[in-house]
Structure 1
Amino acid sequence: MNDRTSGPERAEHEELARLLPAPAERDLPPGRHLHHKDTLMRLIDQDGDRATARPRLPRPAVLLPAAGLALGGVLLTTIAVTGQDSTPAPSPAGTSSQATAPRAAVLLDRIASVAEKSDEQAVTGDQFVYVKTLQAGNEGEYGGPVKLSEPGEREVWMSQEPGPVIDEGLIHQDGSYFPITVGVPDGETPVGYPAGLNRPTYAWLASLPTDADVLLRRLDTEITRDQDARDTPAEDRDRAQDTFDAIGQLLMETVMPPKTAAALYKAAAKIPGVTVDSDAVDAAGRHGIGVARDNTRSGWRTVWIFDSTTLEYLGDRSYLIRDSTMGRKGTPLSESAVLERAVVDALRERPSDHKSSAQKSSAGKPSTT
């Protein structure tokens, strides 16, 4: 192999090669294991060359997607600070001088490959996507110090109706049910919300482009349209961070079509400033490998957490990257863990309901032995 790395950079590459799961084939001869490791190192080198040539996207600002607000707030998430890629600071002109770290691009490519092989779901417009999570938010007064709350379970049922809807779904949290509806001022007629970035149905997700570059342009269009509708000032817009946040929202409380999931991860690999954290922990205490990005304007780091063996999405976390009125550097802001995803036929229906019915039916059958 033509090795173009040395010193700390090579050590990082070797660490990623160690962290990534082994190929599915388990009975390889010893020589083939060396071949696969050599191939992975070449891919890391090649991705490093491509990463430095990517265009820089402008930085300041942060998008607060309506989906995050409707589903309980934008999830700010955190990780342990070991094994992180280092990235340059933003340039004085306000544009990013960051490129996606080589090992982040390699990791996201592996995650995309795994996601693309997952099972396709059959989802109809009269069904609901059910997602059960464990979440912890921050407590405190606006502008003052925050403290992470104890993790609590949250269940959501999201309507899969394609057309504009008034009743978008239901949340079960803290022992109560809360309908997700389109809010309007008193006296005005409600206008339904269509499927889209802020209400991502399975069918809408499946309709997204599967080419990463085309998908990035589509997301940029959707985000810009949403920001324009909200009159978001230009100084509060950051294409790179906004896109990373939007993808993160799509990963949380949805059931994702395999090809779309793969495309989103490949698109994320093209976002400047994306790095790897070798040990990230979700709200359920599960350790994994993290894909992270610093929001330097707001002062926090967001991390998507994946199982280090299966590369399955686990959840996300965030924490402060500098001292602020919210707390000292390292203060956690919130965390989540996905516990279950499914497609169900009615609000308040859970996957366990079907399991219980099946068990009762089986128990009622006469023994054949």
Structure 2
Amino acid sequence: MNDRTSGPDRAEREELARLLPAPAERELPPGRHLHHKDTLMRLIDQDGDRVPARPRPRLLRPAVLLPAVGLALGGVLLTTLAVTGRDGAPTPATAGTASRAPAPPRATVLLDRVASVAARQDEQEVTDDQFVYVRTLQSRNEGEFGGPVELTGPHEREVWMAQEQRPVIDVGLIREDDAYVPIEVGVPDGEPTVGRPAGLHRPTYTWLASLPTDPDALLKRLAAEITRDQDASGTPAKERDRAQDTFDAIGELLRETVMPPKTAAALYKAAAKIPGVSVDSDAVDAAGRHGVGIARDDTRAGWRTAWIFDPATFEYLGERSYLFKDTSMGEKGTLINKSAVLERAVVDALREKPSAGTPESGEPAAGESPTA
């Protein structure tokens, strides 16, 4: 991917890259993680003081939050946490509009570093008959929609996502709470059965690799796909927030996929162009790992979402969302999303685990193909 940065900005990026610690090849003790986080935040602060924020072009109008394809691909995940330091609240965006304020320099610098590391990862070969496996640790809200948060304790979740490009009915499999649940495309009563092709709501490795790697072109592509979905669902224009919907769309793509390196780098660079994106200087994932977050406030819902990155390796760790004001769901500071990615891999069969190399024995789950 072409680097369009030049002149003083380029020199500052290169200096930052030189000063930052090299990616670690082993797990660091907590004290070293804290050291790296402090170093990173000081360098970002220095860069932010030197580099003035430049106006960004307004985005095309994307759509609402990505639906979970009716597949239970996500859930609102909860715990309670005091709000920690960050680099200033994003400028609120009213419903149906996007803030004109660009991402602050600190967020831009951090995302640029994350993108650079992501671009250097190894490309994978993934065939249509394989599955992407992702194991996470999560908490879940079992309260009524819009009502007070009721949290479960952190629990493990495993997903196997089909990589076929053609439309499929059997999208994959989830293991959660010691039960296997097939992921299938929902079909309304009386309607013909139509599979779901690879795309924004079923992001296969091949589809992700086909996305533009220029950040501006990628934003336009995401905007067009989200808008098409929202138009089809009949969502009123007044309920749309272009910037938030784009941020949420990128977050959805990061969670339970194996990401091509060039696509990951482009997504992070595109996120730096979203108005209102900021840095959450100390974010903790569901596994208790401390990191730095890229955050944005959803002013419609009253919560802030942060993607969490390891301060030494810049690896994506997980995500958290918490209330930035009192709402019907709870008091300010109540966490409404807490997850941690523990493992990602490409496997050859449903129920196959990277560590084991073979599918688990046992009867297929209800609706699961016995030959899978």
Which amino acid in the other structure matches residue 22 of structure 1?
Answer: P
The answer to whether the aligner puts 1:165 opposite 2:168 as a matched pair is yes
Deviation at residue 354 of structure 1 after TM alignment: 2.5
Q: Is the 8 A contact 1:77 1:336 kept in 2?
A: no
Q: CA deviation at 1:282?
A: 0.3
- Provide structure 2 residue ranges, at least 5 long, that are not aligned to the other structure: 1-7, 25-40, 360-372
User: 1:1-369 to 2 correspondence within 5 Å?
Assistant: 21-23=20-22, 44=48, 48-49=51-52, 51-56=53-58, 63-67=64-68, 69-73=70-74, 81-87=83-89, 89-90=91-92, 94-354=97-357
Q: CA deviation at 1:62?
A: 7.4
Q: Secondary structure at the match of 2:311?
A: coil
Q: Once the two structures are superposed, what CA deviation does each residue of 1:310-335 show, in whole Å capped at 9, x if it has no partner? A: 00000001111111111111111121
Tell me which residue corresponds to 2:365: none
**Structure 1 gap segments, 5+ residues each:** 4-12, 26-36, 357-369
1:324 and 1:143 map into 2 onto residues whose CA distance is 9
Could you tell me how far apart the structure 1 residues matched to 2:94 and 2:240 are? 16
SS across alignment from 1:346 = coil
Give the TM-score normalised by structure 2: 0.80
Contact 1:65 1:74 in 2 (8 A): no
- Give the structure with the larger helix fraction: 1
CA offsets 1:27-53 (integer angstroms, 9 cap, x no match)? xxxxxxxxxx9997886457x43x431
Q: Number of matched residues? A: 328
142 and 104 in structure 1: CA distance in 2 versus 1, 3 angstrom threshold: same
Q: Is the alpha carbon distance of 1:24 and 1:307 closer, same or farther for their aligned partners in structure 2, counting shifts above 3 Å?
A: closer
String of CA shifts for 1:39-80, please: whole Å, max 9, x gaps.
97886457x43x431135599x97231247524335568976
CA distance in 2, matches of 1:306, 1:39: 16
Distance 2:124 2:295 in 1: 28
Deviation at 1:81, TM superposition (A): 3.1
2:84 is aligned with what amino acid?
A: T
**Cα distance, 1:91 vs structure 2:** 6.8
Equivalent residues of 1:127, 1:346 under 8 A apart: yes
The question of whether the paired residues in 1 share the 8 Å contact of 2:64 and 2:240 is answered with: yes
Aligned to 1:52, the other structure's residue is in SS state coil
Contact 2:78–2:151 (8 Å) recurs in 1: no
Quote the Cα distance in structure 1 between the aligned partners of 2:42 and 2:281. 21
Q: Partner of 1:361 in structure 2?
A: none
Change (3 A) 1:230 1:262: same
Report the aligned-residue RMSD.
3.1
Instruction: For residues 115-155 of structure 1, give each alpha carbon's deviation from its aligned partner in whole angstroms, at most 9, with x where no partner exists.
Output: 00111111000000000000112121233211332111000
1:242 corresponds to which letter in structure 2?
D
Match for residue 34 of structure 1?
none
| Superposed CA offset, 1:204-254 (max 9, x none) | 000000000000000001111111121111011111000000000100000
Q: Give the letter for the 1:70 counterpart.
A: L
Secondary structure at the counterpart of residue 147 of structure 1: coil
Distance 1:77 1:198, change over 3 A: farther
Deviation at 1:87, TM superposition (A): 3.5
Q: Which amino acid aligns with 1:292?
A: A
For the residues of structure 1 that align with 2:86 and 2:45, how far apart are their CA atoms?
19
1:8 maps to what in 2? none
Rounded Cα–Cα distance in structure 2 between residues aligned with 1:113 and 1:58: 26
**C-alpha contact 2:347 2:353 (8 A) present in aligned 1:** yes
Larger radius of gyration: 1
